Amino acid sequence: MMNRFFAFAVLASVVAQAALPSIDDDSVTIVQNAATRGIAVSYTLTDGPAIIIPTFLTNGMPLAAAETTRLVGDVNRITEAGERSFMWFPDDDRAGFSVEDGSFSVKLKAYPTNRAPDVVVFDLAVPTSEARRYYASLEALPYGITNDIYKTTKLVMKKVRAAGRSFRMGAPAYESLNGGNNDFRSREIPRRVTFTNDWYLCVYPLTQLQMRCVTGSRYSRAVHDNGALEGANTIPASYVSYTALRGSSVDWPTTGSSVAEGSVIDTFRDKLGVSSFDLLTSARWEYSCRAGTQTAYYTGGSPTNYTVDAQIDEFAWYSGNSGGVPHPTGLKRPNNWGFYDMMGNVQEWVLDWYITGNDLSDGSDQIDPPGPIAPKKTDSNNNACRVLRGSGFGGYVRNMRVAFPGWDSPGEPKNMGFRLMCGTEL
C-alpha cells in the first residue's frame, strides 16, 4: 500500500510540473521590418496564463535593459495561452543591426501567475489592472530605477523573500547610545520573528505626484507643496494620517485587512485592482528595512554621537542634513535589497498599535506578529497611538537606527508618509 501511494504521489507531482506554463523554443520566430527596423517576435504559450519575460542577445550577450525600452504586445505582462507576439523598436543607435546573420536572438521565460517575477510596475497614468508590467529585477527596468517616472507616474514594487525565514527584531539595550535607557529598551525588546509568506513592497515611499495620480490629492503641507520645494513631485507625501490611509471605522488587527470605503488604500485597491494593498506590520517593515543586516544601521555601523553622524548622510535625510524639510526620494543610498528612504525623509505608518514593555513582547519567538490587539494611550492628549517607522527629516541620530519605533495619534498627519505592500499573487 505504501509503494502504491508513493507511486501515485510521484505521478501527481510529475503531472503538476508538466502543467506549468511553457514556451516551445521551436515556436519562437523573429522577423525584422525592413522599413522601420522593428523586431517582431512570435511564440506559442502552452498551459497559460503566464508572465512572459524576454532577454535580447547579440552574439550571445544580453542587451542592457536601457537598450530594450520600446516593447509593445504580449510581453512583461500576464498573457493568455496561445499564439502570441510582441514588437521591439530599437533606438536609433541599434536600428541598423540585422537579425539575418543569426547573431541576434531572444530568450523567453514564462512565469506562472502565482510565482510572478521579483518586480511589478503599475502605470498610475492609466490606473487599471491591465496597465501593470513585470520584470525579473530592478536592474531590468527600462530607463533605470532612479528615473523620475518611477517616482511620479509609475509605482514600482519589489518582492521581499521572507517565507520560512526568521530574523531578530528589536535591538540590544546598548544600541540606543543611552546605555540601556528603559524608554528605548521597552519598545525594542529583541525577539525572533518568522514569516510564512513573501510580499511585494514599494521601492520608494509614495510621492506627492503618485498620490495625486490615484487620489487627486498630494497629501502635503503648504510648505512642501508644488513649487515651494525643488522636485516637489518626487517628494514623499508628507502630510497623511493613518486614519486617511485606512479609515477610522476599522481596527487592525481586530478587523484584519478591511479598510474604510473611500480611504486612500481603498482607492489604490480599487483603481489598481489589487485587493491586498495595505501597510506593513512593524515586523515586516523592520525585516524589509534590515535587508539581511543586524547592525543599528542597515548600511552597517552604530551611532557615535547624538546630533550629527557622517555615516548617516549617505542613506538618510535627518536633523543633521535635511534643513528641516523633506527631500525628493531616491537621492540617498538604498538598502541591500534596493529600497530607498527606509530611514529618514518622512516617517512611515505601519499597521501596529503602539505599546511598550511586556505588553509589547516578553522576548519569545513570534510567527507573523500582527502587533498588539489593544492600544495603550501614550500621547499628551491621552490618544491611542499607532507605530511610525523610519523616523524622518527631523529625527536625531539615534532615531535612524532600524529598530527605533516612533508613534503618534492615527488622526495626526504631521510629516508622515507611507509605502504600500501587497501579497505576491496579483
* Residue reference for cell 531572444: 106
Could you check whether the bond before residue 370 is cis, i.e. omega within 30 degrees of 0?
no
Nearest to 189 by CA among 384, 382, 366, 349: 366
**What are phi and psi for residue 166, nearest 5 degrees?**
-125, 160
Fold held by 135-422: paralog of FGE (formylglycine-generating enzyme) (3.90.1580)
What is d(CA 348, CA 100) in angstroms, rounded to the nearest whole number? 53
Q: What is the CATH number of domain 20-112?
A: 2.60.40
CA distances from 9 to 4, 18, 91, 98 (A): 9, 14, 51, 50
Positions of the chain with pLDDT lower than 50, given as ranges: 1-2, 4-16, 226
Q: In this structure, what is the dihedral angle of CA atoms 127, 335, 240, 321, given to the nearest 10 degrees?
A: -130
Global confidence as pTM: 0.91
Sheet containing strand 119-123, edge to edge, reads: 133-135, 119-123, 154-160, 199-202, 421-422
Domain boundaries, the chain: 20-112, 135-422
The confidence score (pLDDT) of residue 304 equals 79
What is d(CA 288, CA 308) in angstroms, rounded to the nearest whole number? 25
Nearest to 147 by CA among 203, 93, 91: 203
Other Cβ atoms closer than 10 A to 359: 12
Secondary structure in 3-state letters for 43-66: EEEECCCEEEEEEEEECCEECCHH
The confidence score (pLDDT) of residue 305 equals 76
Could you check whether the bond before residue 253 is cis, i.e. omega within 30 degrees of 0?
yes
Which set of grid coordinates corresponds to residue 46?
Answer: 502552452
Beta bridge partners of 133: 121
What is d(CA 318, CA 315) in angstroms, rounded to the nearest whole number? 10
The confidence score (pLDDT) of residue 177 equals 67
On the CB side of 181, CA atoms within 13 Å amount to 7
Which set of grid coordinates corresponds to residue 233?
Answer: 513631485
**What are phi and psi for residue 144, nearest 5 degrees?**
90, 145
The confidence score (pLDDT) of residue 93 equals 58
DSSP string, 269-334: HHHHT-TT-BPPPHHHHHHHHHTT--SSSTTS----SSS--HHHHTT---TTTSTTS---TT-SPP
Secondary structure in 3-state letters for 257-278: CCCCCCCHHHHHHHHHCCCCCE
